[in-house]
Amino acid sequence: MNLDNASQTQADPPRWQRHDIPIQVLSPGPGPGPSLLAPGVPDQLLADGHRIGWLFRGALWTLIPGSSVTVLAAHQPIASAVPSRTRWLLHMEGSLWCGDPSTGQGHLLELDVLGQELQVRAGTSWVLITLPEGRMLLPTPGVPSTPQLPDGAMRSPSLAPWSAGAGVVWHDFDTIYLASGSHRPQVLGQVLNLEAFMTGPGGAAVFQSPHGSMAACPGGSLTALEETIDLETLRFSPDGNSALAATAGGTVEFNLDNGRILRLWRPELLPVGYAPSPVFFDEESGCLVDGSERTILQGLDLAGPSLHGDHVVGPGGAAWNMSSGERTWPFGRISGGLAVAMPDSVAHLGDEGGRLMDYAGQTRAHWNHPFQPDSVAWDVVQAIRDDAAGHDWPLQACWLGRNHDCVFTTLEGNVIVVDTATGKVSWRAEISPKADSEGWPQLLCHRGVALLRDSESSMLLPSMLRLPAPDEPVMATALSSDTLYMATASHLAALPISGKNTETNQGWKTDLPGIRLLVKARFLLAVQDDHLLLIDPENGEIHRRLPRLLDGHSRVLALGEDAFAAVTGPEEAPDLLLLDTESGSMAARWPIPADGAAMVVGPDGRQLWAWTEDGSLVKLPIENGDPSR
C-alpha cells in the first residue's frame, strides 16, 4: 500500500477476500441444453485477447468464439470492467472483484468501509483509491506490493494504473511520466494541453490534446498517431503494441510504436477488442464480426419483448416459436420500440412509426407514428433516458384481445388505443403527467383485458371504466379474465370486471402487508416473509404456505400448472428458481441474471424461456437445473 500524507489518513486499507461468483455455461444458439438465443443490447463490449465480454447491469457474459458463453452472475450493478488475459476486474457498486470469469473464482474488495466520498481507478494489477484525506495504491491478489511513488505522482489528479501489469502513468504540466514495479519513474515525453488519456497493458497509453492523438507502446516513447481518434472507442491489443479506435474516416488499427495505420474498416464497425484478432460490433446488423466481417455472434438488438401463445417476439429483434424451439424471424427484423404479439400477427411501434407483421416476418401494413408523427428524436433510446425533456417514448404495450387493437403508454403519461392494422387511434388520454414519485402508470393485461393504474386511479380497457379506489394505498395487484385482485396493508379485495358492475363485492381482512400477487390457475400466488403462499380467491384464506426457500429480494412469476418460477437475490441480477407447486421443493436453480421482464415454461413443459428488458433470451432445460446451487 502507498499513502500520500499517510499521517492524515485515518482509513484502514480494505483487504481482498476470497469471493467466488456463481457461473452458468450456455451454448450460443438453440440446442437441447442451456442456450443463449439472443444476447440483447449490452452496456459495454470488451475483449481480453481470448474472450469477448459484454456487461449487463448485474452480470458479465463472456464468449470464446466458436465455443460456449459463460454468465458470471455478480448480483450487483457493474459500472465497468477491465479485461486482461489472465483475469478481469469488475467495478461494482461498493466493491471491486478480480478473478477468472470462466470459473467465477476470484477475490472481492469491499469499498463501503471507506465511506462514500471516494474515487477508484483500477487495473487488473493495481487499484488507485482516492479519499478526501489521501490516496491508496493497492495491489490486486497475487501481485507484489506497490512501490513507493514520488509525492508528485501521488498528488497528480491524472494518476492512473495500467489496465494490465504493475505500473502507473501520470502527467505533471505537459510532461508524461511512467513508473512500474521497483523501477524509477521515467519520462515518456511531452503532450501540450493534454485533455485526456487512457492506459493499456504493460505501459501502453494514448493521449488526446487539441493538437491530435499521441501514443506509446510498452517500453517505447511518445509518437503521434496518423489520425485523431475517439478516445472512448479505444481498445488495446493484449500486448499493447497495437490498438483499435474510431476516427473521422472509419475504424482504424494503429501501430503504437510508430503511430502508423495498419488497417481501416468502415465507420459502422465499432471496436470491441482482440479475441485474438480484431473484433467489432456492426451497428447496422447488430452482430459481432471479425476483421473480415465474418459473423461471430448475432442478436445484439432488441424491441420491447412480448409473448402470445407459442410466440416470443422482440429479443434480438427476432421471433421464436417455443414449440419448435426455433427462431422464425431473422435477427434485426425489428429494432427498438415495442413489439406486441397477437394470435396471428405482431404490431411493432418504433422510430419509423408502426407496422403490422405476420409470424413469417412479412409486413402487412404500415402506419404513422401515433404520438409524434413529425418527431426526429426517436432513434437513440439511451439519449432519451438521459434527457427525456420534451420527448415522448412508448414504455408499455399490450393486446386488447379484439381484432388488432393495442394499448400503448408513453414516457409523458399518454395512453392510446390503436388499431394496428390501420394505425387509427380509437382512444387517447393523459392519465399521469410524466412520472411521479410512484413511477410511470402500470399496465397489466390478461386475456384481452387491460388494467391501467397510476398512483391515484385505475381504469379498465377497452371498456374505459374507472374503478373505485381502496381506502388504503394498493400494495399489489393481479388481473384475471373477470376479476381484479388488490392487496392493501390490511385487506385483500376482489373486484369483478365483467359487465358494468365494478363494485367491490369481496374484501377480507389479511395479515399479509406488502404481498405481491399473481393469478395462477384457481389460486392467487403471493410472497410474504420469503414464503410462497397459495391463496383461495373465494374466501381470501391461505390454502398452502410453502417452505421458506427464498430471500428478502425474491419475486415470483407463475408458470405451468405444476410449478412456479421465482427470481431470488438482489434485484439487479437474481438467480432463477423453479419450485414444485405441491411440495414447494426446489426443482431447479440457475445463476442466470433475470431482471423480471418475463419467463414462461414452454409448451413441452421441459423448457424455461426467460427474457429481460435488455433483450437477452435464454432457454433452460428444467430437468437439468442444479438444485444444489
Residue 50 region, left (φ>0) first, then alpha (ψ -120 to 50), else beta? alpha
Q: Which has the higher per-residue pLDDT, 41 or 603? A: 41
Q: What local confidence, expressed as pLDDT, does residue 382 receive?
A: 31
Q: Is 511 a residue whose pLDDT tops 70?
A: no
Here the cell at position 98 is 478480480
pLDDT level of residue 155 (50, 70, 90 thresholds): confident
Q: Are 591 and 23 in contact (CB under 8 A)?
A: yes
How confident is the model over 238-251, as a mean pLDDT? 96
**Model confidence over 55-94: pLDDT tens digits?**
987 789 999 998 999 999 886 788 899 999 889 999 988 8
Nearest alpha carbon to residue 601 among 623, 583, 628: 623
d(CA 453, CA 468): 12
Q: How confident is the model at residue 248 (pLDDT cuts 50, 70, 90)?
A: very high
- Position 564 scores a pLDDT of 62
Kindly indicate the confidence band of residue 463, based on its pLDDT and cuts at 50, 70 and 90.
low
- The yes-or-no verdict on residue 98 having pLDDT over 90 is yes
What share of the chain in percent tops pLDDT 90? 41
CA distances from 461 to 51, 408, 484 (A): 49, 11, 13
Residue 183: what pLDDT?
72
Q: E strand or H helix at 405, and its extent?
A: strand 405-410
Residue from 465, 321, 361, 353 nearest 420 by CA: 353
Q: What is the mean pLDDT of the chain?
A: 79
Distance set, CA 501 to CA 172, 468, 483, 505 (Å): 76, 11, 11, 10
The angle formed by the CA atoms of residues 116, 121 and 124, to the nearest 5 degrees, is 125
Sheet holding 295-297, edge to edge: 269-274, 278-282, 287-290, 295-297
Reported as a single tens digit per residue, the pLDDT across 430-461 is: 665 444 444 556 676 655 667 676 656 666 66
pLDDT recorded at residue 517: 55
What's the rounded Cα separation, in Å, for the pair 200 and 192? Answer: 21
Give pTM, 2 decimals.
0.82
Phi, psi of 54 (to 5 degrees): -140, 150
More confident residue, 380 or 120: 120
DSSP count for the chain of H helices, then E strands: 2, 62
Q: What is the pLDDT of residues 313-369, one digit of tens each?
A: 999 999 999 988 889 999 999 988 889 999 999 999 887 789 999 999 899 999 887
User: What are the Cα distances from residue 66, in Å, to 42, 69, 568?
Assistant: 20, 10, 32
Give the up-direction half-sphere exposure of residue 582: CA atoms within 13 A in the CB hemisphere: 2
pLDDT-derived band at 398 (thresholds 50, 70, 90) equals confident
What is the pLDDT confidence band of residue 373, given thresholds at 50, 70 and 90? very low
Instruction: Label residue 535 by pLDDT band (50, 70, 90).
Output: confident
The residue length of the chain stands at: 629
One-letter amino acid at 213 equals S
Q: Which of 288-292, 501-505, 550-554, 600-604 has the lowest mean pLDDT?
A: 501-505
